[in-house]
Structure 1
């Protein structure tokens, strides 16, 4: 679905920009002798804004109001970059078209489209800083920026080459089809840019667990007001920071409700109350389950003795059979009931005390 949304956004944005440009050129007669000065900025602005908005809404698809709120500053940046670089590319194209230079029109058009790609890639890469807390990682942000600009330039170059090939065939077609070469060409540009951003902007963290019920945080202030209501033990749920980190803050180790644990793309991670568990939860069995990640697939492997301490989407497991986790699956772990009458070898499930995670295999914006 993600790739289709990017393709649609790319084609639609390119056509909107082209139509706006035609309005200025044809209806208003603005700079009709220098069409690139109008067309290139309009298309660059429309593509830049379209790609930025598409990324924001895909990141938080269920929060349209939040998306609109976050979009204000990124859209202004996209508008400014599209306008400046679009005007620059249009001016460069007009200068290079002069007979004095003798540069083939094909080369000029390719250069112009490359600059449009730079504008869109720069806008998409830079505005990502204001779209998500994930961009707080400077290394990740720089990688994303370089990938956006480089990918956009490559897409623009390929689209320009393909357009020139198609343009040769259109010259043999009837006049009404030849008139459609520009919208067809810019649609191809939008298509290639959409395809590129669907890949370069894909989430780096393909697997994540968001903490839910059972990990509620109680502040020290509340504990002082009502000390009998909470046990402020130092033995708290936590992650192994040598392997796992939280999205919002890599310095934290305590698991709290709402925090998302980002998992590496490959490896296995133990969950339980043993000190060697990567996700440590004190009141669970010593090793309740393992999550194994391979080839963009996450498999929950219940422990043979404690599979009945696990529920998937509200249904308790009846067997020790492995579970292939899917996006938005609710994974619940039941704690052990502790009491004076329980012997050391007797394990009683406490259905009242649970610890729940939401599994993601496509990492939406944690701010969403």
Structure 2
């Protein structure tokens, strides 16, 4: 379903931009002598806005009101990038089409389409920062931006090549087909961009993660100068092994590198491949006080994740509210709730359990 929505949005946006351009050129009669200067900005803006809006709504299909609230800045980015790039592409194309400059027409058209396509990629990549918490990771943000630009430029180059073939074919057809040449070509551009984004937008968003819930509530500030004994006690807090896992949060990169305490509502990014050890042992990757030293392992291999309970303490683990009755491995699926029950009954401040939600595709907390 997702690819069809991207393709539909691409085609619809391209044709809408072309029609808006025709309103200025034909109905209002503005700048008829500068066709590309009018047409390219309209198409670039429409494609950029359509791609950005589609990505936000597809990423949040059950929360349309939240998606609408998140649209403001992404749409302003799409409008600005589309307008500037469209004017640049249209202005340069208009100059190169001049009889005094002997540049082949197909080269000028391909150049214009490349600029328009690249601008859509820039708008889509930049706007991602304002509707995805995942983009708070600078590495992922750069990856998404570069990937969007490359994919959109490649899609534009393919669409331009197909368009030139269509032009040659229609050139041998009756004159009645000529008016359909441009809208058909821009529909192909929207189609190619839709296919490109349906593929690239899946890549960085597919990451396994755990969302911290019950048991990770905020315990307040740690004031060692007031109660040193309490400080020593609070040092035994739920934490991650930053060498293997990390948080996905609003915090700056420097703060993220310095923090290891797990708090309620924070998402923990897991490696695509590897084994995550859960328990109260200091060497555990997810160190949760008051659990058995080794409660379970989470084995990750691409899109598969398996919970491997410790044979001696499997009874402390529950999946979706049901405690494990055997030591058998459990295949984890999206939205599975994993509960680890504590075994330290002497500490009255110890939580009864720790609850985590497993995602086999990234569920953005901003979404």
**Match of residue 35 from structure 2:** 35
Moved more, 22-31 or 278-287: 22-31
Residue in 2 aligned with 1:200? Answer: 200
* 2:256 is the alignment partner of 1:256: no
Displacement of 1:197 in angstroms is 2.4
Structure 1 residue 167, shift from structure 2 partner: 3.0
- 2:43 aligns to what SS in structure 1? helix
Cα pair distance change 1:271/1:4, threshold 3 Å:
farther
Structure 2 match to 1:80: 80
Provide, for residues 177-235 of structure 1, a one-character-per-residue CA deviation record: whole Å limited to 9, x for no partner: 443232222122112222222333333551111111121113249xxxxxxxxx96321
Shift of 1:239: 0.5
SS of 2:210's partner is strand
> 275-284 or 124-133, which moves further after superposition?
124-133
Does the CA-based 8 Å contact 2:48-2:119 persist in structure 1?
A: yes
Q: How far apart are 1:237 and its partner, in Å?
A: 0.9
Write the distance in 1 (CA, Å) between the matches of 2:16 and 2:264: 43
| SS of the residue 1:32 aligns to | coil
* CA distance in structure 1 between the partners assigned to 2:61 and 2:301 by the alignment: 27
Give the drift of 1:5: 2.9
2:243 pairs with 1:242: yes
Instruction: After TM superposition, give the deviation of residue 244 of structure 1 in Å.
Output: 0.9
Pair 1:121 & 2:121 matched? yes
Alignment of 1:104-183 (within 5 A): 104-173=104-173, 175-183=175-183
CA distance in 1 between counterparts of 2:19 and 2:43 reads: 9
- Pick from 318, 328, 331: which aligns with 1:324? 331
1:282 to 273, 289, 296: 289
Q: Secondary structure at the match of 2:71?
A: helix
| Aligned twin of 1:24 | 24
Q: Provide the C-alpha distance between the structure 1 equivalents of 2:8 and 2:294, rounded to a whole number of angstroms.
A: 47
CA contact (8 A) 1:310 1:331 kept: yes
Given that residues 16 and 46 in structure 2 are in contact (C-alpha distance below 8 angstroms), is that contact kept between their aligned partners in structure 1? yes
Measure the CA separation in 2 of the matches of 1:178 and 1:297.
Answer: 52
Is 1:3 aligned to 2:10, yes or no? Answer: no
Superposition TM-score, scaled by structure 1 size? 0.87
User: Does the Cα contact within 8 Å between 1:205 and 1:262 map onto a contact in 2?
Assistant: no
1:324–1:2 CA distance, 2 compared to 1 (3 A)? farther
Q: Is the 8 A contact 2:137 2:248 kept in 1?
A: no
Specify the alignment match of 1:66 in structure 2.
66
Aligned counterpart, 1:209: 210
- With over 3 angstroms needed to count, the CA separation of the structure-2 counterparts of 1:313 and 1:16, relative to structure 1, is farther
The CA distance in 1 between the partners of 2:16 and 2:266, in whole Å, is 39
Structure 1 residues not aligned, in runs of 5+: 222-230, 341-349
2:44·2:83 contact (CA, 8 Å) conserved in 1? yes
Partner Cα separation in structure 1 for residue 45 and residue 19 of structure 2: 12
Aligned: 1:362 with 2:361: yes
Residues 307-346 of structure 1 aligned to structure 2 (within 5 Å): 307-336=314-343, 338-339=345-346
Taking only aligned residues, the RMSD between alpha carbons, in angstroms, comes to 2.9
Partners of 2:291 and 2:344 within 8 A in 1: no
How far apart, CA to CA, are the structure 2 residues paired with 1:232 and 1:172?
84
How far apart, in 2, do the equivalents of 1:173 and 1:322 lie? 65
Q: What is the alpha-carbon distance in structure 1 between the residues aligned to residue 179 and residue 131 of structure 2?
A: 39
Measure, in 2, the Cα distance between the counterparts of 1:171 and 1:306. Answer: 76
The secondary structure found in structure 1 opposite 2:291 is coil
Could you report, residue by residue, the CA deviation over 1:98-150 in whole angstroms, capped at 9, with x for unpaired residues? 22222222111111100101211121222223223333333332332222222
> For each residue in 1:32-73, what CA deviation from the matched residue of structure 2 results, as whole angstroms up to 9, or x when unmatched?
333222221111001111122222333444433332222212
TM-score by length of structure 2 reads 0.87
Between the aligned partners of 2:263 and 2:8, the Cα distance in structure 1 is 38
Q: Which residue of 2 aligns with 1:90?
A: 90
Structure 2 residue runs without a partner (length 5+):
223-231
Q: Could you report, residue by residue, the CA deviation over 1:251-274 in whole angstroms, capped at 9, with x for unpaired residues?
A: 321111100001121111111112
